[in-house]
């Protein structure tokens, strides 16, 4: 590694606190910073003759930024829970907090080279560099759980190596509990939001994502499921250099899928058609869904015109009963049958026992908006649609009914994240896709041959 590369790498890194105590101290300092900011802002406003409410002092952009920045420093469960909240709680969060938490989906600093070397020593043993002709210590990507490095082995294999941050696995449960407590007592989460299901799911999902051996097995499983679909490419797992905390895969080239914005319309339509077709196969054929909607999980090989699929840590299996309920929900939305939609939504778990008829209808309104591409005859033009705004407005109307708000089950939340991510990608690329034609073969409950 060159000196200039090392200095640039170190300038853009921060050590991941590995011990539970050091992580708790960070969160305690954050709570103190929020309180100090409240005191200073309150003093300033009192001096101006104002009588601010406690909630106004808590929900300042500075406090929201302070929380988001500290979660990004901690990475791991703390950062991931912030990501879940920013996507799943939606309009129930204060706008200042939700907007800044959204940065966490693509904002993580890499760990310093010394810490990285320590992790590799622990997983590969001292002298691990003997396996490599080249190893880049500057990561090509950094996220909430780990970072990715490129390397070439002495036997010529070009690899992408995902290295987990130290202490992530051991701190998952305590991090999630501590962050939830901090957000609750600070007032940055509304008391009406039931985060219990999110807490349990964040822990379960994080434990799964922190198991790189498990992710490698899922990647290999997906490769088998898509063996009949040459339009997709997936990396190969290299087991000799894979551990629970280090996942070594063949390096896939390609360009970011967002760069296709300037490709011909037909090519953009084809790519999104492939992704939506894959989503329906995941739901109705595989009962196994890669639920992470990050655009970085898709790349495009220009020469072969194939889509590259990456990152299977957030893959979930779906019970047949849930899959059938979603099939009935989508089919009844296509038919405009609100009664059958309500029955299917109840089977999925959208409605609490005390939900009123008004709230039930508001939920069905959100579903109808979300299923608009399925109900549209012919190619749906995502680039010229105000669908995201209408879904947001319907969600806002629902969020005002907080007394009867019922957090949907985890399976629903993660499926929404995946579908929503594809909608956003389709809008970004201004794609036109006949979603209805892709779904109808599954509407009867029989997978297409």
Catalytic annotation, residues: 292
Count Cβ neighbours within 10 Å for each residue of 164-195 and write b for 16 or more, e otherwise: bbbbbbebbebbbebbbebbeebbbbbeebeb
Kindly report the number of other CB atoms within 10 A of residue 35's CB atom. Answer: 14
Measured distance CA(323)–CA(111) in Å, rounded: 40
Please tell me the distance from the alpha carbon of residue 83 to that of residue 102, in angstroms, as a whole number: 7
Mention every residue, 6+ apart, whose C-beta is less than 8 A from residue 22: none
Instruction: Please give the DSSP secondary-structure letter assigned to residue 49.
Output: T
β-pairing, 306-309 vs 298-301, is antiparallel
Pair type for strands 232-233 and 306-309: parallel
The contacts of residue 219 (CB under 8 Å, 6+ apart) are 234, 235, 237, 249, 312
**Distance (Å, whole) CA 88 – CA 409:** 11
CA nearest 108: which of 135, 62, 148? 148
Q: How far is Cα 427 from Cα 91, in angstroms, rounded to an integer?
A: 21
Angle at 31 between CA 413 and CA 198, to 5 degrees: 15
Query: Going by C-beta distance under 8 Å and a sequence separation of 6 or more, which residues neighbour residue 344?
Result: 325, 326, 328, 329, 332
70/77 Cα distance (integer angstroms): 12
Residue whose C-alpha is closest to residue 130's, from 155, 147, 97: 155
How many residues can be counted in the chain?
Answer: 449
């Amino acid at each position: 590694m060159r000196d200039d590369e090392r200095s640039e790498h170190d300038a853009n890194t921060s050590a991941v606190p590995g011990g539970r105590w050091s992580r708790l101290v960070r969160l305690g300092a954050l709570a103190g910073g929020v309180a100090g900011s409240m005191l200073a802002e309150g003093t300033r406003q009192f001096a101006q003759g104002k009588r601010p409410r406690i909630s106004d002092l808590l929900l300042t952009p500075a406090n929201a930024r302070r929380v988001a920045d500290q979660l990004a420093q901690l990475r791991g469960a703390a950062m991931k829970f912030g990501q879940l909240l920013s996507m799943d709680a939606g309009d129930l969060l204060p706008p200042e907090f939700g907007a800044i938490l959204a940065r966490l989906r693509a904002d993580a600093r890499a760990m310093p080279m010394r810490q990285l070397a320590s992790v590799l020593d622990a997983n590969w043993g001292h002298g691990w560099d003997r396996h490599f002709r080249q190893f880049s210590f500057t990561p090509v990507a950094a996220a909430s759980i780990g970072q990715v490095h490129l390397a070439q082995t002495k036997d010529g294999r070009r690899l992408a190596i995902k290295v987990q941050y130290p202490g992530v696995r051991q701190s998952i449960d305590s991090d999630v509990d501590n962050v939830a407590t901090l957000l609750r007592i600070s007032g940055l989460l509304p008391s009406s939001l039931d985060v219990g299901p999110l807490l349990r799911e964040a822990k379960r999902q994080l434990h799964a994502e922190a198991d790189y051996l498990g992710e490698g097995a899922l990647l290999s499983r997906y490769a088998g499921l898509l063996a009949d679909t040459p339009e997709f490419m997936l990396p190969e797992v290299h087991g000799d250099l894979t551990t629970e905390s280090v996942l070594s895969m063949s390096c896939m080239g390609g360009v970011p899928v967002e760069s296709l914005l300037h490709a011909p319309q037909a090519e953009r339509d084809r790519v999104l058609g492939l992704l939506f077709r894959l989503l329906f196969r995941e739901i109705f054929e595989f009962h196994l869904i890669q639920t992470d909607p990050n655009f970085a999980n898709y790349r495009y090989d220009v020469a072969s015109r194939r889509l590259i699929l990456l990152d299977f840590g957030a893959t979930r299996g779906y019970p047949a009963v849930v899959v059938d309920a979603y099939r009935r929900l989508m089919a009844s939305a296509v038919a405009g049958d609100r009664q059958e939609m309500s029955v299917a939504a109840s089977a999925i778990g959208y409605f609490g026992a005390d939900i009123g008829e008004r709230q039930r209808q508001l939920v069905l309104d959100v579903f109808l908006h979300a299923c608009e591409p399925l109900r549209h005859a012919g190619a749906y033009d995502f680039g010229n649609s105000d669908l995201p705004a209408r879904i947001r407005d319907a969600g806002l109307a629902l969020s005002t009914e907080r007394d009867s708000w019922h957090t949907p089950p985890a399976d629903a939340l993660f499926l929404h994240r995946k579908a929503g991510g594809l909608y956003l990608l389709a809008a970004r690329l201004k794609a036109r896709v006949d979603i209805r034609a892709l779904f109808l073969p599954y509407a009867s409950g029989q997978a297409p041959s």
